[in-house]
Amino acid sequence: MAAKTKFRGSFTALVTPFKNGSLDEAAFRSLVNWQISEGTNGLVPVGTTGESPTLSHDEHKKVVEWCIEEAKGRVPVIAGAGSNSTKEAIELAQHAERAGANAVLVVTPYYNKPTQEGLYQHFKAINDAIGIPIIIYNIPPRSVIDMSVDTMKRLWELKNIAGVKDATASMVRVSQQRAAMGEDFNQLSGEDATIIGYMAHGGHGCISVTSNVAPRLCSEFHAAWQKGDTKAALAIHDKLMPLHNNLFIESNPAPIKYAMTLLGKLDEALRLPMVPVSEPTRVAVRSAMVHAGLIN
């Protein structure tokens, strides 16, 4: 077992800002610096939150490069490199490695619904093509398939499989995966609302949507948890819980982009088929921002 990871704490699943239909490089670079200054422990560009499905490959690669350049090694970068085409996933993963990413995040192939053996062969092919760690992104609500613990255990035997971004929202799964793979298998939550339970079951951190707008609070939650101050962690969790809920009333990343406009961080622009959120969702997101103390 070679390329393992010890990612801990709050990793932000970065949004991708747009302006006039194009990537907004200045806004993106500014976000990277703000995230780091606010205490975020790591960055994850071009995942679901980064609207990877509607970025061209050239745009995808640019965003990864900008993130790594701007981070300047201050925090690790886990670059999104998933596709439902194994060949495309390999190309994106190889680019991320050349660009200097610390690891890649590879989603289970969506739409084509591979079997567990197909999942194994997909990730093995990517493993064999690169030399940096791979975080499996298991998100059944979006990809339709659920990677089993047995398949993860098989993959864990490969040199670059390092852990999982677990968006199953199942607390049981964390313990099952820890029992099967051990403590060195790097378990990161992909569901903000379940984070306190996830950590209690032995998780190591979170790849967070909420931390786009509340990076300091999210990092403070993990710092408190790591110190064993569960009372302080619970207080922060309660402060963030309305955001964790309301940022998913409509499909991510539309609500989080609206929330970020309230902080003046970017334009609300999304790419079709994503559209701006409805007025009731705006009210709910704004209310959650006030509850968290992010706006008046």
Burial class (CB in 10 A: 0-12, 13-18, 19+), 21: exposed
Summary mean pLDDT of the chain? 97
- The answer to whether 72 is a known catalytic residue is no
Taking only the tens place, the pLDDT of each residue in 156-196 is 999 999 999 999 999 999 999 999 999 999 999 999 999 99
Which is the catalytic residue, given 61, 62, 165, 257?
165
The pTM (predicted TM-score) of the whole model is 0.97
Instruction: Work out the pLDDT band at 3, boundaries 50, 70, 90.
Output: low
How far, in Å, CA of 79 to CA of 99, rounded? 10
Q: From the CB of residue 131, how many other CB atoms can be counted at a distance below 10 Å?
A: 11
Contact between residue 192 and residue 206 where contact means Cβ atoms under 8 Å apart: yes
Sequence spans of domains, the chain: 9-229
Chain centre to alpha carbon of residue 165: 7
Q: From the CB of residue 141, how many other CB atoms can be counted at a distance below 10 Å?
A: 10
Give the annotated binding-site residues for pyruvate: 49, 207
Q: Which two tokens stand for residue 99?
A: 């660009």
Give the annotated binding-site residues: 49, 207
Which superfamily does 9-229 belong to? Answer: Aldolase class I (3.20.20.70)
- The answer to whether 111 is a known catalytic residue is no
Phi, psi at 142, each rounded to 5°: -100, -35
How far, in Å, CA of 263 to CA of 214, rounded? 10
Q: Which two tokens stand for residue 288?
A: 């959650």
Residue 147, pLDDT above cutoff 80: yes
